[in-house]
A and B are shown apart, each in its own frame.
Chain A
Amino acid sequence: MTDLPHAPLTVVLVAAAATFVWRALGAILVDRIDPEGAVVRWFTLTSYALLAALVVRLVGLPTGSLGGVSLAIRLAAVAVTLGVWWLTRRNPLLGVLAGTACFIAAVTWTAGP
Protein backbone atom coordinates (compact mmCIF):
# COMPACT_ATOMS: atom_id res chain seq x y z
CA MET A 1 0.00 0.00 0.00
CA THR A 2 2.98 2.32 0.20
CA ASP A 3 3.45 2.91 -3.53
CA LEU A 4 -0.04 4.23 -4.29
CA PRO A 5 0.19 7.27 -6.53
CA HIS A 6 -2.02 9.74 -4.60
CA ALA A 7 -2.62 11.03 -1.09
CA PRO A 8 -5.98 9.84 0.34
CA LEU A 9 -6.96 13.48 0.92
CA THR A 10 -6.60 14.23 -2.80
CA VAL A 11 -8.82 11.26 -3.63
CA VAL A 12 -11.44 12.45 -1.09
CA LEU A 13 -11.45 15.97 -2.53
CA VAL A 14 -11.74 14.67 -6.10
CA ALA A 15 -14.70 12.46 -5.16
CA ALA A 16 -16.33 15.36 -3.26
CA ALA A 17 -15.94 17.70 -6.24
CA ALA A 18 -17.28 15.05 -8.64
CA THR A 19 -20.38 14.62 -6.47
CA PHE A 20 -20.88 18.34 -5.77
CA VAL A 21 -20.97 19.14 -9.50
CA TRP A 22 -24.18 17.11 -9.99
CA ARG A 23 -25.87 18.44 -6.86
CA ALA A 24 -25.11 22.05 -7.83
CA LEU A 25 -26.08 21.48 -11.46
CA GLY A 26 -29.41 20.04 -10.34
CA ALA A 27 -29.99 23.04 -8.04
CA ILE A 28 -29.15 25.52 -10.81
CA LEU A 29 -31.01 23.87 -13.70
CA VAL A 30 -33.96 22.79 -11.57
CA ASP A 31 -36.51 24.91 -13.46
CA ARG A 32 -35.24 24.00 -16.92
CA ILE A 33 -35.04 20.20 -16.83
CA ASP A 34 -37.84 17.72 -17.39
CA PRO A 35 -37.51 15.10 -14.62
CA GLU A 36 -39.12 12.52 -16.93
CA GLY A 37 -37.00 13.42 -19.96
CA ALA A 38 -34.53 11.29 -21.92
CA VAL A 39 -31.40 12.88 -20.38
CA VAL A 40 -32.56 12.21 -16.85
CA ARG A 41 -33.55 8.66 -17.78
CA TRP A 42 -30.11 7.91 -19.27
CA PHE A 43 -28.45 9.33 -16.13
CA THR A 44 -30.56 7.12 -13.91
CA LEU A 45 -29.96 3.96 -15.97
CA THR A 46 -26.21 4.55 -16.12
CA SER A 47 -26.15 5.04 -12.34
CA TYR A 48 -27.90 1.71 -11.85
CA ALA A 49 -25.44 -0.03 -14.19
CA LEU A 50 -22.54 1.51 -12.27
CA LEU A 51 -23.87 0.35 -8.92
CA ALA A 52 -24.30 -3.18 -10.34
CA ALA A 53 -20.75 -3.17 -11.71
CA LEU A 54 -19.54 -1.93 -8.31
CA VAL A 55 -21.21 -4.89 -6.56
CA VAL A 56 -19.52 -7.25 -9.04
CA ARG A 57 -16.17 -5.63 -8.25
CA LEU A 58 -16.71 -5.69 -4.47
CA VAL A 59 -17.92 -9.29 -4.41
CA GLY A 60 -16.18 -10.88 -7.39
CA LEU A 61 -12.98 -8.89 -7.81
CA PRO A 62 -12.16 -7.36 -4.40
CA THR A 63 -8.89 -5.47 -4.03
CA GLY A 64 -8.48 -5.36 -0.22
CA SER A 65 -8.91 -7.82 2.67
CA LEU A 66 -12.15 -9.24 1.24
CA GLY A 67 -9.96 -10.90 -1.40
CA GLY A 68 -8.70 -13.20 1.36
CA VAL A 69 -12.19 -14.69 1.80
CA SER A 70 -13.17 -17.41 -0.68
CA LEU A 71 -15.40 -16.48 -3.59
CA ALA A 72 -17.91 -19.16 -2.51
CA ILE A 73 -18.46 -17.42 0.85
CA ARG A 74 -18.80 -14.00 -0.77
CA LEU A 75 -21.35 -15.28 -3.28
CA ALA A 76 -23.27 -17.32 -0.68
CA ALA A 77 -23.56 -14.25 1.57
CA VAL A 78 -25.00 -12.22 -1.30
CA ALA A 79 -27.46 -15.05 -2.00
CA VAL A 80 -28.55 -15.06 1.67
CA THR A 81 -28.96 -11.26 1.56
CA LEU A 82 -31.28 -11.58 -1.44
CA GLY A 83 -33.12 -14.62 -0.06
CA VAL A 84 -33.88 -13.06 3.32
CA TRP A 85 -34.84 -9.76 1.69
CA TRP A 86 -37.36 -11.65 -0.42
CA LEU A 87 -38.65 -13.90 2.40
CA THR A 88 -39.20 -10.94 4.75
CA ARG A 89 -41.42 -9.17 2.21
CA ARG A 90 -38.59 -7.08 0.84
CA ASN A 91 -37.19 -5.79 4.09
CA PRO A 92 -33.80 -4.29 3.16
CA LEU A 93 -32.51 -4.07 6.71
CA LEU A 94 -33.15 -7.74 7.54
CA GLY A 95 -31.63 -8.83 4.23
CA VAL A 96 -28.43 -6.89 4.83
CA LEU A 97 -28.17 -8.04 8.46
CA ALA A 98 -28.76 -11.72 7.60
CA GLY A 99 -26.30 -11.69 4.69
CA THR A 100 -23.62 -10.01 6.78
CA ALA A 101 -24.23 -12.35 9.73
CA CYS A 102 -23.86 -15.39 7.43
CA PHE A 103 -20.71 -13.91 5.98
CA ILE A 104 -19.22 -13.44 9.47
CA ALA A 105 -20.29 -16.96 10.51
CA ALA A 106 -18.77 -18.54 7.40
CA VAL A 107 -15.50 -16.63 7.80
CA THR A 108 -15.32 -17.68 11.48
CA TRP A 109 -16.14 -21.29 10.60
CA THR A 110 -13.56 -21.60 7.84
CA ALA A 111 -10.87 -19.89 9.93
CA GLY A 112 -11.04 -22.91 12.25
CA PRO A 113 -10.53 -23.01 16.01
Chain B
Amino acid sequence: MTKSESRSAAFRGFRDAISVPLLMVGGGMAGFGALAHDIGFASWEAVLASLLVWALPAQVVAADLYTSGADLIAIAIAATLASMRFFPMAVALLPTLGKPRGGRLGRIAQAQLMSATSWAFLMRGSAPSEPRQRLAYHTVFALTCLSIGALGTIAGYLGAAGLPRPLALGLLFLNAASFTVLLIETRNRQALLAVVLGAALCAPIHSVIPEASLVLASVIGGTLAFVLGDRLRKPAG
Protein backbone atom coordinates (compact mmCIF):
# COMPACT_ATOMS: atom_id res chain seq x y z
CA MET B 1 0.00 0.00 0.00
CA THR B 2 2.70 2.45 1.08
CA LYS B 3 4.78 1.41 -1.89
CA SER B 4 2.03 2.13 -4.37
CA GLU B 5 1.33 5.46 -2.67
CA SER B 6 5.00 6.39 -2.98
CA ARG B 7 4.90 5.34 -6.60
CA SER B 8 1.90 7.49 -7.35
CA ALA B 9 3.52 10.44 -5.52
CA ALA B 10 6.63 9.90 -7.66
CA PHE B 11 4.50 9.90 -10.81
CA ARG B 12 2.82 13.11 -9.66
CA GLY B 13 6.28 14.62 -9.17
CA PHE B 14 7.12 13.80 -12.78
CA ARG B 15 3.80 15.12 -14.08
CA ASP B 16 4.10 18.39 -12.13
CA ALA B 17 7.69 18.89 -13.32
CA ILE B 18 6.76 18.67 -16.99
CA SER B 19 4.22 21.51 -16.69
CA VAL B 20 5.23 25.09 -15.80
CA PRO B 21 8.70 24.10 -14.46
CA LEU B 22 9.50 22.61 -17.86
CA LEU B 23 9.25 26.08 -19.38
CA MET B 24 10.75 28.05 -16.49
CA VAL B 25 13.69 25.72 -15.79
CA GLY B 26 14.23 24.90 -19.47
CA GLY B 27 14.01 28.58 -20.44
CA GLY B 28 16.24 29.76 -17.61
CA MET B 29 18.90 27.17 -18.33
CA ALA B 30 18.65 27.92 -22.07
CA GLY B 31 19.54 31.49 -21.12
CA PHE B 32 22.55 30.20 -19.24
CA GLY B 33 23.54 27.96 -22.17
CA ALA B 34 23.45 31.00 -24.47
CA LEU B 35 25.55 32.99 -21.99
CA ALA B 36 28.03 30.11 -21.67
CA HIS B 37 28.42 30.07 -25.47
CA ASP B 38 28.78 33.85 -25.55
CA ILE B 39 31.69 33.80 -23.09
CA GLY B 40 33.54 30.90 -24.68
CA PHE B 41 32.66 27.85 -22.55
CA ALA B 42 32.67 24.47 -24.30
CA SER B 43 29.21 22.87 -24.53
CA TRP B 44 30.14 20.13 -22.02
CA GLU B 45 31.39 22.76 -19.58
CA ALA B 46 28.05 24.56 -19.82
CA VAL B 47 26.08 21.35 -19.13
CA LEU B 48 28.44 20.36 -16.33
CA ALA B 49 27.80 23.76 -14.72
CA SER B 50 24.04 23.18 -14.80
CA LEU B 51 24.36 19.64 -13.41
CA LEU B 52 26.92 20.37 -10.69
CA VAL B 53 26.04 23.90 -9.60
CA TRP B 54 22.30 23.45 -10.27
CA ALA B 55 21.57 27.03 -9.24
CA LEU B 56 20.99 29.54 -12.02
CA PRO B 57 22.03 32.72 -10.15
CA ALA B 58 25.36 31.20 -9.05
CA GLN B 59 25.99 29.96 -12.61
CA VAL B 60 25.23 33.36 -14.14
CA VAL B 61 27.24 35.23 -11.48
CA ALA B 62 30.25 32.97 -12.04
CA ALA B 63 29.98 33.32 -15.83
CA ASP B 64 29.57 37.09 -15.61
CA LEU B 65 32.60 37.52 -13.34
CA TYR B 66 34.61 35.05 -15.43
CA THR B 67 34.24 37.28 -18.52
CA SER B 68 35.10 40.41 -16.58
CA GLY B 69 38.42 38.74 -15.65
CA ALA B 70 37.74 38.56 -11.91
CA ASP B 71 40.04 36.41 -9.81
CA LEU B 72 38.94 33.05 -8.40
CA ILE B 73 38.48 34.32 -4.85
CA ALA B 74 36.08 37.02 -6.08
CA ILE B 75 34.17 34.43 -8.12
CA ALA B 76 34.03 32.07 -5.13
CA ILE B 77 32.74 34.80 -2.79
CA ALA B 78 30.10 35.99 -5.25
CA ALA B 79 28.92 32.42 -6.00
CA THR B 80 28.80 31.72 -2.26
CA LEU B 81 26.60 34.75 -1.71
CA ALA B 82 24.42 33.87 -4.70
CA SER B 83 23.80 30.40 -3.25
CA MET B 84 23.34 31.34 0.37
CA ARG B 85 19.58 31.01 0.04
CA PHE B 86 20.00 27.22 -0.25
CA PHE B 87 20.83 27.11 3.43
CA PRO B 88 17.46 28.42 4.71
CA MET B 89 15.67 26.55 1.92
CA ALA B 90 17.26 23.24 3.01
CA VAL B 91 16.50 23.94 6.67
CA ALA B 92 12.83 24.49 5.84
CA LEU B 93 12.38 21.68 3.31
CA LEU B 94 14.42 18.68 4.51
CA PRO B 95 12.57 17.94 7.77
CA THR B 96 9.31 17.66 5.80
CA LEU B 97 10.78 14.79 3.75
CA GLY B 98 11.14 12.59 6.82
CA LYS B 99 14.29 10.54 7.37
CA PRO B 100 15.66 9.55 3.97
CA ARG B 101 17.53 6.28 3.50
CA GLY B 102 21.26 6.80 3.97
CA GLY B 103 20.81 9.19 6.89
CA ARG B 104 22.83 12.35 6.61
CA LEU B 105 24.13 11.49 3.14
CA GLY B 106 20.57 10.95 1.97
CA ARG B 107 19.65 14.39 3.27
CA ILE B 108 22.65 15.97 1.54
CA ALA B 109 21.59 14.24 -1.69
CA GLN B 110 18.09 15.73 -1.42
CA ALA B 111 19.64 19.16 -0.69
CA GLN B 112 21.83 18.83 -3.79
CA LEU B 113 18.79 17.97 -5.92
CA MET B 114 16.75 20.84 -4.47
CA SER B 115 16.24 23.96 -6.57
CA ALA B 116 14.20 27.12 -6.08
CA THR B 117 11.51 25.46 -8.22
CA SER B 118 11.42 22.14 -6.39
CA TRP B 119 11.39 23.99 -3.08
CA ALA B 120 8.46 26.18 -4.14
CA PHE B 121 6.49 23.16 -5.42
CA LEU B 122 7.05 21.18 -2.23
CA MET B 123 5.93 24.14 -0.12
CA ARG B 124 2.58 24.40 -1.90
CA GLY B 125 -0.49 23.23 -0.06
CA SER B 126 -1.29 20.82 -2.87
CA ALA B 127 1.99 18.87 -2.55
CA PRO B 128 1.80 15.44 -0.83
CA SER B 129 1.82 15.81 2.94
CA GLU B 130 3.01 12.39 4.12
CA PRO B 131 6.87 12.45 4.49
CA ARG B 132 7.55 9.25 2.48
CA GLN B 133 5.36 10.46 -0.36
CA ARG B 134 6.99 13.89 -0.22
CA LEU B 135 10.40 12.23 -0.48
CA ALA B 136 9.33 10.26 -3.56
CA TYR B 137 7.65 13.33 -5.05
CA HIS B 138 10.68 15.57 -4.47
CA THR B 139 13.20 13.03 -5.79
CA VAL B 140 11.37 12.51 -9.07
CA PHE B 141 10.32 16.15 -9.46
CA ALA B 142 13.87 17.42 -8.90
CA LEU B 143 15.53 14.77 -11.11
CA THR B 144 13.10 15.62 -13.91
CA CYS B 145 13.89 19.34 -13.49
CA LEU B 146 17.63 18.56 -13.54
CA SER B 147 17.23 16.65 -16.81
CA ILE B 148 15.17 19.50 -18.27
CA GLY B 149 17.86 21.93 -17.07
CA ALA B 150 20.63 19.97 -18.80
CA LEU B 151 18.64 19.75 -22.04
CA GLY B 152 17.75 23.47 -21.82
CA THR B 153 21.42 24.35 -21.38
CA ILE B 154 22.38 22.42 -24.51
CA ALA B 155 19.48 23.92 -26.46
CA GLY B 156 20.44 27.46 -25.42
CA TYR B 157 24.11 26.81 -26.20
CA LEU B 158 23.32 25.47 -29.67
CA GLY B 159 20.73 28.22 -30.18
CA ALA B 160 23.25 30.93 -29.41
CA ALA B 161 25.67 29.29 -31.84
CA GLY B 162 23.25 28.72 -34.70
CA LEU B 163 20.26 31.07 -34.43
CA PRO B 164 20.07 34.51 -36.10
CA ARG B 165 21.60 37.25 -33.94
CA PRO B 166 18.36 38.76 -32.53
CA LEU B 167 17.13 35.33 -31.33
CA ALA B 168 20.52 34.47 -29.85
CA LEU B 169 20.52 37.79 -28.01
CA GLY B 170 16.96 37.07 -26.87
CA LEU B 171 18.19 33.86 -25.23
CA LEU B 172 20.81 35.92 -23.40
CA PHE B 173 18.14 38.34 -22.25
CA LEU B 174 16.12 35.45 -20.75
CA ASN B 175 18.30 35.45 -17.62
CA ALA B 176 17.62 39.11 -16.86
CA ALA B 177 13.89 38.71 -17.53
CA SER B 178 13.48 35.61 -15.36
CA PHE B 179 15.42 37.08 -12.43
CA THR B 180 13.37 40.30 -12.69
CA VAL B 181 10.13 38.34 -12.37
CA LEU B 182 11.54 36.25 -9.54
CA LEU B 183 12.36 39.44 -7.64
CA ILE B 184 9.07 41.18 -8.23
CA GLU B 185 7.18 38.11 -6.96
CA THR B 186 8.49 38.98 -3.51
CA ARG B 187 5.58 39.64 -1.21
CA ASN B 188 7.57 40.51 1.86
CA ARG B 189 8.33 44.24 2.32
CA GLN B 190 11.67 43.72 3.96
CA ALA B 191 12.79 41.57 1.02
CA LEU B 192 11.57 44.25 -1.39
CA LEU B 193 13.69 46.78 0.50
CA ALA B 194 16.70 44.46 0.02
CA VAL B 195 15.90 44.27 -3.71
CA VAL B 196 15.69 48.06 -4.05
CA LEU B 197 18.89 48.62 -2.07
CA GLY B 198 20.84 45.92 -3.92
CA ALA B 199 19.78 47.39 -7.27
CA ALA B 200 20.45 51.00 -6.23
CA LEU B 201 23.89 50.27 -4.79
CA CYS B 202 25.20 48.14 -7.67
CA ALA B 203 25.89 50.86 -10.29
CA PRO B 204 27.61 53.40 -7.97
CA ILE B 205 29.81 50.67 -6.47
CA HIS B 206 30.50 49.31 -9.96
CA SER B 207 31.89 52.69 -11.09
CA VAL B 208 34.48 52.54 -8.28
CA ILE B 209 35.25 48.79 -7.83
CA PRO B 210 33.68 46.88 -10.73
CA GLU B 211 34.85 43.45 -9.54
CA ALA B 212 33.27 43.77 -6.11
CA SER B 213 30.01 45.46 -7.09
CA LEU B 214 27.89 42.28 -6.77
CA VAL B 215 29.31 41.23 -3.44
CA LEU B 216 29.33 44.68 -1.83
CA ALA B 217 25.88 45.67 -3.13
CA SER B 218 24.38 42.45 -1.79
CA VAL B 219 26.06 42.47 1.61
CA ILE B 220 25.47 46.21 2.22
CA GLY B 221 21.94 46.10 0.74
CA GLY B 222 20.99 42.93 2.61
CA THR B 223 22.38 44.17 5.91
CA LEU B 224 20.73 47.59 5.58
CA ALA B 225 17.40 45.94 4.77
CA PHE B 226 17.88 43.63 7.75
CA VAL B 227 18.57 46.52 10.16
CA LEU B 228 16.11 49.05 8.71
CA GLY B 229 13.43 46.43 8.12
CA ASP B 230 13.61 45.25 11.72
CA ARG B 231 13.26 48.85 12.91
CA LEU B 232 10.39 49.51 10.52
CA ARG B 233 8.64 46.38 11.68
CA LYS B 234 8.78 47.21 15.34
CA PRO B 235 6.51 50.30 15.50
CA ALA B 236 4.03 48.57 13.18
CA GLY B 237 3.95 45.36 15.21
Given contacts A19-B54, A43-B85, contact A51 B179 (CB under 8 A): yes
Contact with A along B87-114 (1 / 0, CB 8 A): 1111110110000000010011011101
Secondary structure at the A interface, as helix, strand, loop or mixed, is helix
B197 is an interface residue with CB less than 8 A from chain A: yes
Given contacts A65-B38, A81-B181, contact A23 B214 (CB under 8 A): no
A1 in complex: contacting residue of B53, B59, B67, B181, CB < 8 Å: B67
* In the bound complex, CA of A27 to CA of B165 (Å): 43
B91 in complex: contacting residue of A10, A33, A46, CB < 8 Å: A33
Contacts of B35 in A (CB 8 A): 64
Contacts of A103 in B (CB 8 A): 169-170, 173, 177
Q: Contact: A15 with B185, CB < 8 Å?
A: no
A-B contact count (CB 8 A): 322
Which chain A residue has the least Cβ–Cβ distance from B181?
A92
B45 in complex: contacting residue of A8, A18, A81, CB < 8 Å: A8
A28 in complex: contacting residue of B59, B60, B104, B175, CB < 8 Å: B104
B127 is an interface residue with CB less than 8 A from chain A: no
B180 is an interface residue with CB less than 8 A from chain A: yes
Q: Contact: B40 with A8, CB < 8 Å?
A: yes
**Cβ of A102 to closest chain B Cβ, rounded Å:** 9
Q: Contact: B183 with A51, CB < 8 Å?
A: yes
Contact with B along A30-58 (1 / 0, CB 8 A): 11010100101111111111111111111
B147 is an interface residue with CB less than 8 A from chain A: no
B237 is an interface residue with CB less than 8 A from chain A: no
Which chain A residue has the least Cβ–Cβ distance from B199?
A52
In the complex, which residues 76-91 of chain B have their Cβ closer than 8 Å to any Cβ of chain A? Answer: 76, 78-91
Q: Contact: B114 with A54, CB < 8 Å?
A: no
* In the bound complex, CA of A43 to CA of B23 (Å): 28
B179 in complex: contacting residue of A33, A46, A58, A104, CB < 8 Å: A58
Q: Contact: B221 with A49, CB < 8 Å?
A: yes
Contact with A along B164-188 (1 / 0, CB 8 A): 0111111011111111111111100
Not counting A57-B214, A92-B178, a sample of 11 additional A-B residue pairs whose C-beta atoms are within 8 angstroms of each other reads A8-B40, A12-B52, A16-B49, A43-B88, A45-B223, A48-B198, A53-B198, A56-B217, A58-B64, A77-B173, A90-B185
